[in-house]
Amino acid sequence: MGVVTKALHVTLRLWQLISSVIVLGILARFLHYVARGGGGRDGRVIYGIIAASISTLFALALLAPFKWAFWAFPMDLILFIMWLIAFSLFATRARNCSAGWFFSYWRPYWSEAWEDSNGDGQQGTSGCGPWRTVLAFSFMAMIAFLASAILGAIVLARRLQKKRREKRG
10 Å CB burial of residue 85 (0-12, 13-18, 19+) is: middle
pLDDT at residue 130, rounded to an integer: 81
- The pLDDT-based confidence of 38 (bands split at 50, 70, 90) is low
Q: What is the pLDDT of residues 137-147, one digit of tens each?
A: 999 999 999 99
Q: 3-state class of 106 per DSSP?
A: coil
The region, left, alpha or beta by phi > 0 then psi within -120 to 50, assigned to residue 119 is: left
The answer on pLDDT for 102 being more than 50 is: yes
- The Cβ of residue 37 has, within 10 Å, a number of other Cβ atoms equal to 14
DSSP code of residue 97: T
14 phi and psi angles, rounded to 5 deg: -65, -40
Ramachandran region, residue 96 (left: φ > 0; alpha: ψ -120 to 50; beta: rest): beta
| Greater model confidence, 119 or 63 | 63
Q: Out of 1-5, 95-99, 127-131, which region has the weakest mean confidence (pLDDT)?
A: 95-99
pTM, two decimals, is 0.82
